[in-house]
Structure 1
Amino acid sequence: MLDLLLSLLVAQSTPAAPPPEEVVKPQQVRPLPGQLDAVPTFNSNSPELVLKEGILLSTFPTEGKKAPSAHLNFPFRGRFDVFAHHVAKADPPEDLRSLYLGIILHNPTAESVTVNVLQGASYLSQPDAPFIQLPAFSPNLLGNVFAGPGDRVMLDVLRGRRQDIFPDQIVIPAGESRMLLNQPIPVKGLTPPLNGRSTLARLRSNGTVYAASLAMFARTNTDGSERAPTLEEWQNLLNNSDVSSPRDKVPTPLEETGKPRIYGRVAGVGRGAQWRAFIVDSPKAKSLTIPQPGQAFSYALSTLHGGTLGTEQIQSAPLLVRYPDTAYRAHGNYAIQYSLKLPLYNNTPTSQTVSISIQTPLKEDRLTKPGLRFFTTPARQVFFRGSVRIRHRDDNGQPKTNFIHLVQRRGQPGEALAVLNMKTGDRRLVEVDFLYPPDATPPQVLTVSTQGK
């Protein structure tokens, strides 16, 4: 949304361009094999624009809380992820206090609990990761290409990093709470006074914990300077506040048709943190036969209600608990990792040039034409902005790992992530990994194509 708000300011002074022309590429679209794992994801993305103090998402029990409906009573134990993506804006414009985002973990048991932080990152739009213009395709082996805080956070976690604002572990004594995150979203000195913060932490707990994300304005020292809220202040807000506002648009029911579809934003616990896929010709096969020369096939990515590209497959993570005015599923699968393995096999009698790409076709539920629709000139809206890791053996048999940053607009076919020259009978395993980035718009496809002779 931060990207959208900034782009709207620009769009107000930009004349409308004529609609781009469409082209249909006759490639088969297949459902993505595999499924989401069962690792729960704490998903705090509503309200995205936070103007009032309060609870963003709480999985705490309702007992002893002033607003019981703000607490979803969902305990975590073992592996779980915490994702949060929120925007602060000066309202009114002269109110330039920093909004703090707090993520609190509570141990309800009679013994201490240790929470290990496996990977984690949290970045601001300003100054950490501004929405700069980037090429459609950028090599990113060093991890220094990103635009937007969600993009940068997903890149860090994909690379296995734990940012230094996170400890390697948090020990929570019996019956007590500790802060996983206590960081500001400053707006002072920014034009417009608007900023956002994205956060993702992969955690493992050896006991039961509850989690909550909270919003509170900076407290003021005696000299007028700002300070972060204390643990006690966060606990007081958790116990005595209701959900934050303004609330986002209420989603339309998933089964409803005939009305404009409102997906809503997510505030709940999703089932799944990673989608693993071993992509082969059939469930019992061990390889994926490459397309015939001049042909291509695609696998759907991040499909959702109303956007399955003819596969009838919904990949959006189901929500185990949610607030009733927020999204019914984790549409877009923000922060969920896709780990895709393609054991390619050239069964043709000659050598073939095979390419792997990610594409952003026009969203459809049922394909209106036999293939995917693209624009000859991509539209203005950016629908995917993030990094992809691709691993394979090159034509000399040497292992190769690339990180590539993609910026894809609506209807953009995309460039090849890798090009393989495969001899007849050649087998080549290709692995593609990425975390679906916040501010992206689904669906996309992973496409395998063979060059025509």
Structure 2
Amino acid sequence: MFHLLSSFLFFATTPPPLPPPTPQEFVRPQIVRPLPGSLNTVPVFNSNSPELVLEPGILLSTFPATGTTHPQAHLDFPLEGRFDIFAHHVAKAPTPDDLRTLYLGVIVDNPGREAVKINILQAVSYLSQPDAPFIKLDPFLENSDGTIYAGPGSRVMGEILRGWHQIQFPFLMTIPAGERQMLLNLPIPVKDFDPPINGRSSYLRLRSNGRVYLASLAMFAPKDEEGNERPPTLAEWEALLQTGDLAKPRDRAPTPPNSEGSSFLYGRVAGVAQGSQWEAKLTDRSEVDFLTIPDRGQIISYGISTLDRGTLGTEQIQSAPMLARYPDTAYKAHGNYGIRYSLNLPLYNPTEAMQTVTIALETPIKQDEISTGLRFFDPLPTNTFFRGTVRVKYTDDGGILQTRYYHLVQRRGQEGEPLVTLHLQPNTQRSVSVDLLYPPDSTPPQVLTIQTLK
């Protein structure tokens, strides 16, 4: 009886848990520089709007509009040579009893009079469930074997970064003159998941020796004679391409770039963006081949994925421009999902003393102008703004070439842990390479930070 009474009194008098402390901003004095270099000109077939697909239809079509039922759904933009495909969409049961599987299809058309060969240089596609669920991970984890990820975007970009290619995709497609083939025909199931929602991220790097048209499409799985779901056929995809309208529900329309209001909606991307990689050598000036490290206790950062109203004082918008788009979708590829950043830092210590230098990726609070430095939070809020793998290559203090992969999870306003720590001897230079593919489900901007410790 005593024990029961003690337990009752304990539970009766235990106060409710305190709410988490409110994040407080602080300013870190430092310099922020624009990132040297620029995006390349490789076009990217970027299918990300609508993100949530509840009704079948056309997600993105570069086909000509002639003879189609809904000409406004076709952008008439052929692709040839090097181009990439990025697709990121979510399926959700429209009603609790409607658990049909949504299929994502990418169809390729050869309009010419000769066969076209498409080299599939890399191709990776994953579902949220069960392939890559959004699990809670520590902010900084070594990811040497590629088994650490959270979400399909994180997993896909990590594998493309490593040069991997999924066995389900061939390395070569040959499309006869005037014919079409399916490049992707993959399910996004919702049945047996709680809640009944799922997503799929895909990224493909391609090279074509002739002109082709592409379309990404969404369709609920047809059924066979026994009433079981089956993949759609090429003929069924072609019928949807011919008669279908844009898939729904439509995402909210973006704010025009030159608008002056306080609110600004970037919108989601559906179109052909220009640029698949940002390659740069970070130096003091364009005419020199070294980057002088900051003075002791000082910090220099370079913007990563800066965007309209988020240039961090650099006035540099890195968002890929759109070569073709739908009127209700993003004006630029804000976020640069899937774009590879390949950055070389030839660090130089000009002093007569050994200096300890760190390099980190960070997620400061978005701002367009800065006065004395970047803003961060302490304690951190709960919302995640970056989730993906970063690769660093460098020669360590023992003279050994290192290649390291780290999976980062960063919240809004989070300072980053060092990816690399170097002890630079007096009057010496050592290079560090940093590579990442900007992962879907992240929110820009980020910075690459070089700090010389006191």
Q: Same fold (TM over 0.5)?
A: yes
Q: Amino acid of the residue matched to residue 91 of structure 2?
A: A
Maintained 8 Å contact 2:62/2:75: yes
Q: Amino acid of the residue matched to residue 130 of structure 2?
A: P
Partner of 2:14: none
Partner of 1:401: 403
Asked whether 1:351 is paired with 2:345, we answer no
Cα displacement (A) at 1:16: 6.3
Aligned counterpart in structure 2 of residue 262 of structure 1, from 256, 262, 265: 265
Distance in 1 separating the partners of 2:203 and 2:30: 35
- Structure 2: segments with no counterpart, 5+ residues: 1-16
Maintained 8 Å contact 2:22/2:379: no
Larger Rg: 2
Q: Determine helix, strand or coil for the equivalent of 2:155.
A: helix
Aligned counterpart in structure 1 of residue 376 of structure 2, from 369, 374, 377: 374
Distance in 1 separating the partners of 2:169 and 2:86: 14
Aligned counterpart in structure 1 of residue 58 of structure 2, from 50, 55, 61: 55
Partner of 2:84: 81
Maintained 8 Å contact 2:175/2:181: yes
Partner of 2:426: 424
Partner of 1:199: 202
Aligned counterpart in structure 2 of residue 436 of structure 1, from 427, 435, 438: 438
Partner of 1:22: 25
Sequence identity (%): 59
Distance in 1 separating the partners of 2:289 and 2:446: 25
Maintained 8 Å contact 2:128/2:200: yes
Cα displacement (A) at 1:396: 1.3
Q: Amino acid of the residue matched to residue 424 of structure 1?
A: P
Partner of 1:293: 296
Root-mean-square deviation (CA), in Å? 1.0
Asked whether 1:32 is paired with 2:26, we answer no
Partner of 2:342: 339
Q: Amino acid of the residue matched to residue 281 of structure 1?
A: D
Show the 5 A alignment for 1:4-403: 17-367=20-370, 369-403=371-405
Cα displacement (A) at 1:15: 9.0
Distance in 1 separating the partners of 2:227 and 2:63: 34
Q: Amino acid of the residue matched to residue 192 of structure 1?
A: P
Q: Amino acid of the residue matched to residue 438 of structure 1?
A: P
- Structure 1: segments with no counterpart, 5+ residues: 1-13
Provide Cα deviations, 1:339-383, integer angstroms capped at 9, x if missing partner: 00000000011000000000000000011x400111122211100
Cα displacement (A) at 1:130: 0.1
Aligned counterpart in structure 2 of residue 449 of structure 1, from 437, 448, 451: 451
Distance 1:445 1:319, change over 3 A: same
- The answer to which of 47-56 and 64-73 deviates more is 64-73
Cα displacement (A) at 1:198: 0.3
TM (norm. structure 2) is 0.95
Distance 1:199 1:15, change over 3 A: farther
Distance in 1 separating the partners of 2:22 and 2:314: 27
Distance in 1 separating the partners of 2:199 and 2:193: 12
Partner of 2:413: 411
Cα displacement (A) at 1:106: 0.7
Maintained 8 Å contact 2:131/2:152: yes
Partner of 1:7: none
Distance in 2 separating the partners of 1:145 and 1:55: 33
Distance in 2 separating the partners of 1:73 and 1:250: 22
Cα displacement (A) at 1:152: 0.4
| Count of matched residue pairs | 438
Distance 1:163 1:15, change over 3 A: farther
Distance in 1 separating the partners of 2:338 and 2:250: 22
Distance 1:276 1:15, change over 3 A: farther
Runs of 4+ in 1 over 6 A off after TM superposition: none
Distance in 1 separating the partners of 2:92 and 2:153: 18
Q: Determine helix, strand or coil for the equivalent of 1:344.
A: strand
Q: Amino acid of the residue matched to residue 159 of structure 1?
A: R
Q: Amino acid of the residue matched to residue 30 of structure 2?
A: Q
TM (norm. structure 1) is 0.96
Q: Determine helix, strand or coil for the equivalent of 1:220.
A: coil
Distance in 2 separating the partners of 1:200 and 1:390: 22
Distance 1:291 1:328, change over 3 A: same
Distance in 1 separating the partners of 2:374 and 2:286: 25
Q: Amino acid of the residue matched to residue 360 of structure 1?
A: T
Q: Determine helix, strand or coil for the equivalent of 2:375.
A: strand
Partner of 1:11: none
Cα displacement (A) at 1:259: 3.7
Maintained 8 Å contact 2:185/2:231: yes
Cα displacement (A) at 1:19: 2.3
